Structure formats: C-alpha cells, structure tokens
C-alpha cells in the first residue's frame, strides 16, 4: 500500500549522553604496599637528593624564563603555569639578561620550548662558571689545557675549594686567553671566586707584574659594562693620582681607603 502524503513523520530524540566522568585513581599506597616490601635507607636518601637537585634546577629555569621570555609568549606556549600570576619576577630574575641582547635580532626572537630550554641551559652553565684573566698562556703548547687543569686541581686541594668539572681556555685571538672554569653549582663557583681573589692571586702569582684576576662568566652586555667600568676607573684614578674608585663586580664603586695610584 502506498503511503499517504498527509501522513506525519515522527522524530524521536535520542537521549542525551551522560558526560563521562574523569577516572579517579582508587588504589591507595596501602593496597599497593606489600608487608614484606622494605625500601633501603640509602635508596630513600638518593631519591631525596635527586628531588632536591630537580627542585633547584626547576627554580633556576623559572627564574631564567621570567627574565628572557615575555609572559605573553609563555602563555602561547602553554608554559605560563610555571610562573605565579600573583607574584612579579624576583630580583634575581631581573638581573638575568639574554646572552645576545646587544644583537637587534634578539628583540624579534620567536621563542619555542626548545629555544627556551637551550637558552636556559646556557644561562645555568654560565652561572656556574668562573673566568680567570691574565693567567700565563702558551698558544703553541698543545699541553696547555692539561697543564691548566692540573694547576687548578692542585690549587683546589691546597685552598679547599671544589674540584671543577671542566677547565678550558676561551677560544679567541688574545695572546693570553681567559681560562674558563666550570663548577657543578653556583655556590662552588662563588667560593672559588672569593678564595682566588682574596688569597690565591697574591700568594701564588707574586712574581707576576700583572696578577691574574677571577670573575664570574658574563653576558655580552655585561662584558661591555665591565670594559667601560675598568676604563673609567683607570682614567679617574690616574687623573687623581690615587685609587678613588674600585671595581665592584662589573660596576664602579668609591674606594673607602684610597691609595696612591701608579
């Protein structure tokens, strides 16, 4: 039989699907733990030390990211959760500068997670590295690196600072190349700087007319500031005939105890 043209069609709405709730992890530690399972104390201590190292590293990464990457770009990459919205960048973050800030192209850098990771790793390495200037050098000596490493290790044992993880000369055309000394932490680096400038440079290199000096590893902008500060101090002291100004890190500072300037 043919269907009538006046017959009405019936539309039946399918019942709305109930949203699937998130699964909840129901296993508890007590259900997973076997009465006979025992964790050696040494394993627990090792785990805790590993967690402490990770915590410090993450803190350094967050500080660096606050300084080198605009918040809007972090948000676009989904990384803004690493930064507390209620707290401004810390004072230490504001002092961290991008390695290539003197390059105009750095202002238009498109940050990606891989670039941020590479930049952060570089900044962390730099924060743990010391530089010794004016240390005797021989460009023609193939054993120079080995000699430098042996010298620094011997000084470490004598003056009780940490053995560095790497010692190498900076690649440049200078007759006396800066010696870079890598440590495993910023605190080890800082301890070396204090010990070298306070004790080592005068007692170990008394026969040199120009004593070696140690400083932290610097960004390109900071190196420019250091050179300007050194020139200013030299010119002003020479004009006055006494050491009215001294260097504090990379900045000019008044000398509370001036001496005759030669």
Output the DSSP codes for 61-116: HHHHHHHHS-HHHHHHTT-GGGS-TTSPPPHHHHT---TTTTSGGGGG----HHHH
Residues 106 and 98: beta-carbon distance below 8 Å: yes
Highest-pLDDT range among 70-79, 120-129, 177-186, 213-222: 177-186
* Average pLDDT in the chain: 77
Residue 124: in which H helix or E strand, if any? helix 113-127
Residues 197 and 242 in one domain: no
Q: Which residue has the higher pLDDT, 14 or 225?
A: 225
Reply yes or no on whether the pLDDT at 199 is more than 90.
yes
Examine the fold and report which residue of 126, 153, 188 is the final residue of a domain before the chain moves on. Answer: 126
Q: What mean pLDDT is predicted for residues 65-83?
A: 58
For the chain, helix, strand, coil in percent to 5 are 45, 10, 45
Whether 206 and 233 share a structural domain:
no
Under 8 Å between Cβ of 129 and 189: yes
| 256 and 208 in a common domain | no
pLDDT at 55: 81
Any domain includes 51: yes
pLDDT, mean of residues 120-138: 89
Q: Do 96 and 47 sit in the same domain of this protein?
A: yes
Residue 18 lies in a domain: no
Residue-wise DSSP of 150-206? HHHHHHHHHHT-PPPSEEEE--SS-SSPPEEEE-SSHHHHHHHHHHIIIIIHHHT-T
Sign for the pseudo-dihedral over CA of 231, 233, 239, 241 = negative
Q: What is the pLDDT of residue 36?
A: 62
Point out the domain boundary residue: 68, 93, 126: 126
Question: 26 or 92, which is more confident?
Answer: 26
Residue 248 has pLDDT above 60, yes or no: yes
Shared domain for 175 and 251, answered yes or no, is no
In a domain, 16, yes or no: no
Domain end among 68, 92, 126:
126
Q: Is residue 17 part of a domain?
A: no
For residue 207, tell me if it sits in a domain.
yes
For range 54-75, the mean pLDDT? 68
Stretch 16-43: mean pLDDT: 60
* Pairing assessment for the beta strands 245-248 and 251-254 based on DSSP bridges: antiparallel
Q: Is residue 31 part of a domain?
A: no
* 118 plus 138 within the same structural domain: no
Answer yes or no: is 20 within a domain: no
- 71 assigned to some structural domain: yes
Domain that holds residue 104: 41-126
pTM, two decimal places: 0.58
- Whether residues 155 and 144 share a domain: the answer is yes
Give residue 91's pLDDT band: very low, low, confident or very high (50, 70, 90): very low
Confidence bin at 155 (pLDDT 50/70/90): very high
Identify whether residues 239 and 205 lie together within a single domain: no
Is pLDDT of 212 > 80?
yes
For the residues 129-140, what does the mean pLDDT come to? 94
Q: Name the domain count of the chain.
A: 3
Q: What is the pLDDT of residue 111?
A: 63
What pLDDT digit, counting tens, does each position of 161-192 carry? 999 999 999 999 899 999 999 999 999 999 99
Share of the chain above pLDDT 70, in %: 66
């Amino acid at each position: 039989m043919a269907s009538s043209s006046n017959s009405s069609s019936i539309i039946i709405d399918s019942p709305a699907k109930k949203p699937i709730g998130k699964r909840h992890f129901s296993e508890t530690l007590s259900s997973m733990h076997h009465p006979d399972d025992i964790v050696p104390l040494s394993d627990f201590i090792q785990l805790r030390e590993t967690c402490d190292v990770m915590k410090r590293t993450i803190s350094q990464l967050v500080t660096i990211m606050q300084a080198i990457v605009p918040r809007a770009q972090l948000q676009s990459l989904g990384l803004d959760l690493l930064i507390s919205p209620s707290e401004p960048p810390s004072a230490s973050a504001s002092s961290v500068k991008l390695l290539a800030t003197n390059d105009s192209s750095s202002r238009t850098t498109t940050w990606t997670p891989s670039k941020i990771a590479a930049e952060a790793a570089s900044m962390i390495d730099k924060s743990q590295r010391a530089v010794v200037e004016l240390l005797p050098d021989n460009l023609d000596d193939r054993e120079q690196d080995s000699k430098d490493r042996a010298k620094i290790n011997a000084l470490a044992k004598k003056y009780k600072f940490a053995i560095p993880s790497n010692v190498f000369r900076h690649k440049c055309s200078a007759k006396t190349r800066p010696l870079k000394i890598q440590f495993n932490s910023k605190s080890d680096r800082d301890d070396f700087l204090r010990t070298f400038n306070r004790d080592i440079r005068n007692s170990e290199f008394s026969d040199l007319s120009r004593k070696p000096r140690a400083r932290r590893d610097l960004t390109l902008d900071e190196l420019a500031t250091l050179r300007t500060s050194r020139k200013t101090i030299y010119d002003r002291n020479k004009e006055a005939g006494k050491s009215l100004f001294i260097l504090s890190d990379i900045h000019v500072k008044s000398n509370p105890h001036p001496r005759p300037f030669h």
